[in-house]
Amino acid sequence: MTPATSGNTRAAVRGTPRRKVLVARLDSMGDVIVAGPAIRAIAARAEVTLLAGPQGAEAGSLLPGVDEVVVWACPWILDPAPPMTGERADELLHLVRARGFDEAVILTSFHQSPLPLALLLRLAGVPRISGASVDHAGALLDVRLRPGEDLPEDIPEPERAAAIAAAAGYPPVDDGRLRLRPLPDTTALTGPDPYLVLHPGAAVPARRWPVQRFAAAATLLAAAGHRIVVTGGPGERDDAAAVCAAAPARTLDLSGACTLAELAGVLARAGAVVVGNTGPAHLAAAVGTPIVSLFSPVVPAVRWAPYGVPVALFGDEHAACRGTRARVCPVPGHPCLSGVRAEDVAAAATRLAAVGRRAAAATSRDDGTRGESARGAVSSAGPRTEERAVAV
């Protein structure tokens, strides 16, 4: 377990004692990003340490309000799961005891329980613990929200996290937008000319639109005069290369070439992003970029679609895989996404890019800043603006 520390020193600068709060979000990058509004609410009144998993720690360092990020590989969250041993438990207990937290707020998704972590935190001596649990929590939670009773089941994940924070005594302090810390200038990576981003990969195979469709969309967008930046992780270079091969004169392959902060900077300057329901979709929402979302309903769109930005949502929300949380498509032919046409995706990307340009121009007129950088600093507040294009 390797602690990682970010550079926020608000408590030291103010010189007054502040509560030390452990905020736990132990899953992936996108899950950490959507916890941002809840973390800012807590950070307004406390020093925040984020307990993150290995896949979410880098995202945690990008969130305003996080003073420190510590990493622990959680055996009941990660897949594949590391063994749950006494040594692994002792690592967490030592980490928590050494920091002397006044309380913990456990942020979970609708299908996760806070209780295993709450048990370990209680053993580590944390005196006050809050979370949302459908199960009886006994002495493990001091503040317990009951999903379906104290908060609706079908609300966006940022609002769910904010509700848990509010129940713990940290109500919202701003407009609830997804936000990131200032990002690097990525013009050297992309060049100065406008572009759209295609992100064909996803860690979960069931959430991937076929790469051949991404390539077809790239061909159509290039023919319409768009410049295209293709992004992806180091393990997604083959998919990115296949997309770029469809329009080599108009595409730039940045797969495996960016840190997470640089990827966010690339997304912030894009006219629109075409992406599945995966972490970079939430990263794009956090920098305010319109999104064409290729959304497999293995998790509900009402909870997990990109938040707070214009979204064109594609995919059959009534497909047989809906709500299964499957990692590999359980239905032959991947019907939830295979019916989505490249022509419709390309048209939506062009339309959303035009919306983004108009919004950026309005921002520039209002506050005198360059539209792209101003839009990249924050996203649209509140519920997303959504047009649904459901495959049949």
Classify residue 174: in a domain, yes or no: no
Please state, in angstroms and rounded to a whole number, the distance separating the CA atoms of residues 266 and 261: 9
Handedness of CA 141, 69, 44, 259 (dihedral sign): negative
Per-residue pLDDT of the chain (392 residues), as tens digits, is 343 444 443 444 455 578 999 999 999 999 999 999 999 999 999 999 999 999 999 999 999 999 999 999 999 999 899 999 999 999 999 999 999 999 999 999 988 999 999 999 999 999 999 999 999 999 999 999 999 999 998 999 999 999 999 999 999 999 999 999 999 999 999 999 999 999 999 888 888 999 999 999 999 999 999 999 999 999 999 999 999 999 999 999 999 999 999 999 999 999 999 999 999 999 999 999 999 999 999 999 999 999 999 999 999 998 888 888 888 888 888 889 999 999 999 999 999 999 877 666 665 555 443 333 333 333 333 444 455 554 43
Residues 249 and 380 reside in one and the same domain: yes
* 199 and 105 in a common domain: no
Q: Same domain, yes or no, for 317 and 229?
A: yes
What is the total count of domains within the chain? 2
Q: Are residues 101 and 202 in the same domain?
A: no
Q: What CATH number is given to the structural domain containing 322?
A: 3.40.50.2000
Is residue 80 located within the same domain as residue 148? yes
Q: Are 160 and 229 in the same domain? A: no
Which residues are bridge partners to 311 per DSSP? Answer: 291, 386
What's the gap between Cα 59 and its chain centre?
8
Q: Are residues 120 and 86 in the same domain?
A: yes
- Could you give the CA distance from residue 29 to residue 53 in angstroms, rounded to a whole number? 9
User: What angle in degrees, to the nearest 10, is found between the helix axes of 157-167 and 36-43?
Assistant: 20
Q: Classify residue 298: in a domain, yes or no.
A: yes
Helix, strand or coil, per DSSP, at residue 129: strand
385 phi/psi in degrees, rounded to 5:
-85, 120
Q: Is there a contact between 246 and 219 (Cβ–Cβ < 8 Å)?
A: yes
Same domain for 197 and 88: no
Q: Is residue 177 part of a domain?
A: no
Three-state DSSP state, 208? coil
Note whether residue 175 is domain-resident. no
Q: Are residues 159 and 234 in the same domain?
A: no
Q: Is residue 173 part of a domain?
A: no
Range of the domain at 233: 187-389
Does residue 254 share a domain with residue 198?
Answer: yes
* The predicted structure's pLDDT at residue 153: 87
Of 132, 167, 202, the residue at which a domain comes to its end is 167
Q: Answer for the pair 4, 63: CB distance below 8 angstroms, yes or no.
A: no
The answer to the question of residue 215 being in a domain is yes
The Cα–Cα gap between 196 and 267 comes to: 9
From CA 177, how far away is CA 183, in angstroms rounded?
17
* Residues 193 and 319 grouped into a single domain: yes
My answer on whether 162 and 196 are in the same domain is no
Answer yes or no: is 248 within a domain: yes
